[in-house]
Amino acid sequence: MKNYLQLTRHTGNNSLFLAVEMSLISTLRGSPFHIHAEGLRGTGKTTIMRSVKMMLPKITRIKGCLYNCDPADPHCPQHKHMTPEEIASLGTEEIPVPFLEISHSAKIGTVAGTIDLSKLTNPNQPEAALLPGIIPQAHRGIIFIDEINRLADTSPEITDVLLDAMGTKPGRVQIEETGLPVVEVPVSASVWAASNPDEEPGPLAEIRRQLSDRFDLVIPIGRPSTAEEVVDILETNETTQQQNDRELSPQERSRLEQLKNNLESIAHQDELKMPEYLTNFLANLYINYNLESLRALEAIRQAALLHAALRKRNQIMISDIITVLPLALYHRVSSATLTEIMNTVNSNKMIGSSEKKNEPALRLPRLFQQKPTQSQPDDTPPQRARSLRNLPEDELIKKEKQ
């Protein structure tokens, strides 16, 4: 597996590195944050996401619990009705944050749950019991799905299970087997996915819009833009291939441990609050641009809070919103609408001068304009006449300078 810190960062994949770190922080806080990387084959989407496994911290669970029950908040059928004393008698254990994968050829039983054959065929004490699938076993962790557009096209039943698991935070999974009671289990797991929208069966948003909308952010992955970046990638790949069989050096382990501790420290800090004037900004955005899904605002809000925490700020700023805005709206509005929103926000000079020194306003990158046409209409509804230009920009700037 490639070292997360050795992977080359460039203009085409920087947003994905940012997104996986924000999602990991949110997962450790107990709040799922779903991300989907879209891009051509060979652009490193899957490599970046899988490499995060090297720096996952540990969580504490009830000893032997396949559902990863938190001893302080048990949720599985076996432990949720136990008293604290009974749970303490079972003991606890530490495991790495779960990182499980669902392939596009997966079966519904392995994803949701099925009959535990080992218990059923036990000659000494046969017992009909359920074996939790990938989703319930990923509780408090991450589920990764490569080629999610193919999964959505070929496995509608699994897609329905994902819709339940991602529909709320936390989500839920229902395990059904003939002859056994139906079991419903809450699941708090972040779903990470990757796909190539230019290959069959096409973009996820055109195959199953409900599933596409469940993702908080969609990150379009672009190619390296300079020869130097390409050379760096090739040299890193060559070095990695030569070192596949060796352990990480002490220096590499130290750097990974430092990053892991940093992310874990941020995750355990008190969560920031969204200021009222920024909440009003999001409300105006929803009304003025006729956004279809309220999940878009929830995604922008959560991503902005995580972005500020990752930057170790003690307050949320409009630049945090502007940074994550294209990623939260990429799969929810047309490219023309997204360009209009970004141009309007930037032309209003809604970023205070103190922020501009360190974080310039985000201009819509070229790769965001290459997305396939979505169902969001480009025509201007009557509400859009009240554009963001009518927002109290003086108040916004004044508040952020304070």
Span 146-194, pLDDT tens digits: 999 999 999 999 999 999 999 999 999 998 877 777 889 999 999 999 9
Segment 16-63, tens digit of pLDDT: 999 999 999 999 999 999 999 999 888 889 999 999 998 899 999 999
The four Cα atoms 357, 359, 365, 369 give a dihedral, to 10 degrees, of -120
Which residue, of 181, 198, 221, is where some domain finishes? 221
Q: Does pLDDT of 374 surpass 50?
A: no
Task: Note down the domain range covering 12.
Answer: 4-57+97-106+132-221
Residues 212 and 335 in one domain: no
Separation in Å, CA 275 to CA 201, 211, 288, 315, 392: 42, 30, 20, 8, 15
Q: Is residue 24 part of a domain?
A: yes
Alpha-carbon distance of 166 to 34, in angstroms, equals 8
CATH at residue 20: 3.40.50.300
Please give the pLDDT value at position 54. Answer: 87
Which run of H or E residues covers position 324?
Answer: helix 318-329
* Long-range CB pairs of 333-337, under 8 A, 24+ apart, other chains included: 333/289, 333/291, 333/374, 333/376, 334/373, 334/374, 334/376, 334/377, 334/378, 335/368, 335/369, 335/370, 335/371, 335/373, 335/374, 336/378, 337/289, 337/376, 337/378
Closest C-alpha to 54, from 240, 248, 191, 200: 248
Q: Are residues 46 and 195 in the same domain?
A: yes
Domain assignment present for residue 397? The answer is yes
The residue ranking higher by pLDDT, 134 or 237, is 134
The answer, yes or no, to whether the previous bond of 201 is cis (omega within 30 of 0) is yes
Q: DSSP state, 277?
A: H
Q: Quick one: how far is CA 15 from the chain centroid?
A: 12
Residue whose structure tokens are 């609050």? 273
CA 199 to each of CA 147, 148, 158: distance values in angstroms, whole numbers, following the listed order = 10, 12, 21
Tokens 């499980």, residue located? 100
Residue 100 — pLDDT band, cuts 50, 70, 90?
very high
In a domain, 376, yes or no: yes
In whole angstroms, give the CA distance from residue 132 to residue 346: 48
**Is residue 185, in this structure, part of any structural domain at all?**
yes
Residues 50 and 137 in one domain: yes
Same domain as 160, residue 16: yes
Same domain, 17 and 139: yes
How much is the pLDDT for 389? 38
In a domain, 36, yes or no: yes
Q: What share of the chain is helix, strand, coil (3-state, %, to 5)?
A: 50, 15, 40
Whether the ω angle into residue 381 lies within 30 degrees of 0, i.e. cis, is no
- Answer with the residue of higher pLDDT: 198 or 402: 198
pLDDT (tens digit, 9 = 90+) per residue, 339-366? 999 888 876 544 343 344 444 343 444 4
Burial annotation 134-155 (CB, 10 A radius, 16+ → b, else e): bbbbbbbbbbbbbbbbbbbbeb
pLDDT tens-digit readout, 299-353: 999 999 999 999 999 889 989 999 999 999 999 999 999 999 988 887 654 434 3
- Choice between 70 and 391, residue whose per-residue pLDDT is larger: 70
DSSP string, 125-166: S----EEE-HHHHTTTSEEEEETHHHHHHH-HHHHHHHHHHH
Any domain includes 119: no
Q: Is 52 contained in some domain?
A: yes
Which tens digits make up the pLDDT trace of 259-291?
889 999 999 998 899 999 999 999 999 999 999
Q: Are 200 and 280 found together in one domain?
A: no
Helix H or strand E segment including 50: helix 45-51
Judgement on whether residues 43 and 182 belong to the same structural domain of the protein: yes
Same domain, yes or no: 185 and 314: no
- Mean pLDDT taken over the chain: 82
Q: Do both 291 and 217 map to the same domain? A: no
Q: Give pLDDT, residue 237.
A: 62
- C-alpha separations of 166 from 34, 110, 289 in Å: 8, 18, 25
Return the percentage of the chain with pLDDT > 70, whole number.
Answer: 78
Is 85 inside any structural domain? Answer: no
Residue 119 pairs in a beta bridge with none
Terminal Cα distance for the chain, rounded: 46
Looking at the structure, tell me whether residues 282 and 354 fall in a common domain. Answer: yes
Cα–Cα separations (whole angstroms), residue 184 to 74, 176, 192: 14, 9, 23
Across 275-292, b (16+ Cβ under 10 Å) vs e yields: beebeebbebbbebbbbe
- Report how many domains make up the chain: 2
Provide φ and ψ at 376, rounded to 5°: -65, 125
User: 196-247: per-residue pLDDT in tens?
Assistant: 999 899 999 999 999 999 999 999 998 777 787 778 777 766 565 555 544 6
Give the distance from CA 230 to its chain's centroid.
27
Same domain, 209 and 339: no
